[in-house]
Each structure stands twice: as C-alpha cells, then as structure tokens.
Amino acid sequence: MSIDVLLVDEDTDVLEIVQTFLEQEDDLDVTSEADPETALERALTDEYDVVVSDYKMPRLDGLELCTALRDSGRAIPFLLFSAREPDDVRAAADEAGVTGFVQKGTGTEQYSVLAEKIRAAT
C-alpha cells in the first residue's frame, strides 16, 4: 500500500528534486504543489496520508498551513522540511500541531531521513 504525500514548497526546483528522491521509494506517491494556498485547498479536499511542507513561503508559511489544517479539524500528519534550525522553530511548530521536522541540507541523506519520518508519521 502506498503512502500519499502532499509536498509543498514555493521553489519548483526543490519540489522536483524532493519528489524525484521520494518517489524512488516504492511505497511513496508524491503530489507536488508550489502554491501553499492551493496546497491547503488540496489537503482539505483530497485524501493524503501526510503533508510535507517548507517553512518559509510567501502568503502562507508552513506553520500557518499546518494551523489552518488543524483549525479545519484535519488531523493529517504534518512534517516541516526546512533549512531552518529545528530549535529555532520547535516551540511554534509544537503550538501549530506539527508532527515532525526534517532539516534540509546538502547531499541525499536528508531524503532518506524524510522518507523514514513520513513512514513513522503515518
């Protein structure tokens, strides 16, 4: 059974790279969305097992996206995938209802970590 992932990041290059790496995993099916407001609509109307979102985005950041999902009653697992230091956003992420955090970095190990966090959250 595959895990349906909604991946949100305003940077389309990042979306493409992350989606490519995650879809190398047999059990992950990834839908990418560059507009966080559209991602919110999709998360509210479509069936996803987990949302993976960047933190810093225009109009609606990752924490605001998570808060909007929680306010709507959706308990879908929500992972932040951000270049920010985890300790810099931990308190706000906990308050917003974020399930987990994976820090973006160089190399490909981050994608394996993200895949494992996705599996653990669902």
Contacts for 108 with CB less than 8 Å, ≥ 6 apart: 21
Q: What is the pTM of this model?
A: 0.94
Looking at the domain that runs over 3-121, which CATH code has it been given? 3.40.50.2300
CB-count burial class (<10 Å; 0-12, 13-18, 19+) for 4: middle
User: Measured between alpha carbons, how far is 14 from 98 in angstroms, rounded to an integer?
Assistant: 21
Q: What value does the mean pLDDT take over residues 29-55?
A: 96
pLDDT per residue as tens digits for the range 102-116: 999 888 899 999 999
Domain ranges of the chain: 3-121
